[in-house]
Amino acid sequence: MREKKWIDCPACGAKKSMRPQKELTERIVLSGYPPIQIDGLEGQFCDCCGEGFWSRASERRITRLLTQHRAVEDSKRVVAADLASVREAAALLHISVQGVHKMMNDGRLPFVLAGDRKMPIRKDLTQCAREKAQTAISYPAR
């Protein structure tokens, strides 16, 4: 997909105020976690109000790094009993082990790092399985 090029600001309505910017650093605060600083970002932002959009690549970078950040922080406080193995996760979500890894890498399934292993968090899995079931109910016809 092509990146949309903004000219007028959709937030404040200023004309020709949107500028591409590179090498940006963003400090992100997730509630319940220490702040994280992410650099090397790019996007288009308004000269007048500062509103703007990250590029798709930057959005993916933010999602990936936030997921990692959560994982590292969670691994300090989540106990072993709260964790599920990837195999358990696959069974619960009715997907393959590879599918579970993909969801974790995409930031769709929270996990913690136990050593160098990624382990899904049990309560998030249950939540995820429930959402999946609801989606299946919403779109029954094929």
Binding residues vs Zn ion (CB under 5 A): 9, 11-12, 14, 46, 48-49
| Nearest to Zn ion of 7, 28 (CB atom) | 7
**Helical ranges in the chain per DSSP H:** 56-77, 86-93, 97-106, 122-138
| Nearest to Zn ion of 13, 40 (CB atom) | 13
Cβ-in-10-Å burial (0-12, 13-18, 19+) of 79 comes to exposed
- Give CA–CA dist 59/94, Å, rounded: 28
CB of 56 to Zn ion, least distance (A): 21
CB of 55 to Zn ion, least distance (A): 18
CB of 53 to Zn ion, least distance (A): 12
CB of 11 to Zn ion, least distance (A): 5
| Nearest to Zn ion of 12, 57 (CB atom) | 12
| Nearest to Zn ion of 33, 53 (CB atom) | 53
Sign of CA dihedral 129, 135, 136, 137: positive
Q: Are 18 and 46 in contact (CB under 8 A)?
A: yes
